[in-house]
Amino acid sequence: MPAATQTVWQRRQFSLFALFFQMVFLVLFSLFCRYIDPLDDSKRIYSGTDYPLFQDVHLMIFVGFGFLMAFLKRYGFSAVSVNLLLSAFVIQWAMLLRGFLSKQFHDTGTFTLGVPEMMCADASCAVVLITMGVLLGRMTPVQFLLLAFFETSISVLVDHIVVNILHVNDGGRSLVVHAFGAYFGLAAALVGTLLLWVFFPSFNAAVQEPGSAANAVLYPSHAVAVGICASFVSVIGHAWLSVFSIIFALGYEPESYGKTLYHIYPYFEGGPMEGDRNRETQALYQLAGMGTTLAMAVFGGLITGLILQVRILNQIDDPDGAHHDINYYAQSEFNFLSKYQRAREQEMLERERLHEIY
């Protein structure tokens, strides 16, 4: 909607929502959250173990995911800014939700916050940022803020059910992060993929408990075989699998659906590779976890989508022409040398005009 026709409520809507949520977070942190007492956890040396992992995961979230959408000419700048907005929001909300679901909170009425909790919150960011990919250019900042609120609430609940209640083995968060985020919304990847690929070992290791062993893949040849299968499906599968024809028919951009196997496939391959129960029992738990995740992702996505379409919220009036919206200011003909390009074009036109005169 053009800025000149917006009401005061529409112009101030994002600021009011952001301020409201931030004040709520401040009150909740002050009432229920405490830092970990070093005397109670003296055996953990965070500076040499957990903190480097936290740095890597944090870099993935704010830089890697931030530049995933930078290759989109119309939305490159907005992608980075929306990524920063959602990450800062989700980290706080996820830490609160995980704290409220913890046994410590049920026993004492408060929960502690440390480096491991912040790394888990970063993992929750990945869920929302995966969903953000397909919706970029189709939603306003207010809608993104509400999307982050609802999706984080559902994803943390799914994580709690799958990991703590069903005890599904999901060490690399292939189910509660990738599968959930991909089915909640579709994502794309180009520029940021390299950075994410480099730091994914830290991302997978950060949320593991001390002493955890990923012993399902026993030999290097197994790891190579898993990588070959994953790359084959990711690169070639999207051209053959009919599900993406359905997605395209729903109106999503080819850039968004073409690489969704990057996030959907890890669980179908990674989930069955994990487990310390016998095969039959663990297979049932893995299927139960997958069914729970997919059901809550689809149902939660539908409900959230209906809420975000409420007319009281700022909307993108014409998604196909969203580059004219005030939230996506870069026009399709934009380039990084546009100022100099225009000056050069004017100079060429002036020369042609003088040449015609003389």
Is the model's pTM score more than 0.75?
Answer: no
Structural contact between residues 174 and 267, judged by C-beta atoms closer than 8 angstroms: yes
* CA distances from residue 204 to 69, 84, 197, 209, 212 in whole angstroms, order as listed: 22, 22, 11, 11, 12
Instruction: Check residue 96 and give its pLDDT.
Output: 92
Q: How far apart are CA 290 and CA 121, in angstroms?
A: 21
3-state SS assignment for residue 139: coil
The two three-digit tokens of residue 310, written as one number: 């409420």
Of the chain, the percentage scoring pLDDT greater than 90 comes to 4
What is the tens place of the pLDDT at every residue in 290-337?
Answer: 777 777 777 777 777 777 777 777 666 655 554 455 665 445 455 555
Q: What is the mean pLDDT of the chain?
A: 68
DSSP state of 63: I
Is domain 10-35+49-313 in CATH 1.10.3430.10, yes or no? yes
Q: How far apart are CA 23 and CA 305, in angstroms?
A: 25
Q: Comparing 75-89, 262-276, 277-291, which segment has the lowest mean pLDDT?
A: 262-276
User: Would you kindly state where each structural domain of the chain is located, as residue ranges?
Assistant: 10-35+49-313
DSSP state of 40: G
Instruction: Check residue 20 and give its pLDDT.
Output: 92
What is the tens place of the pLDDT at every residue in 59-77?
Answer: 878 877 777 766 666 666 6
The CA angle 129-303-25, to the nearest 5 degrees, is: 55
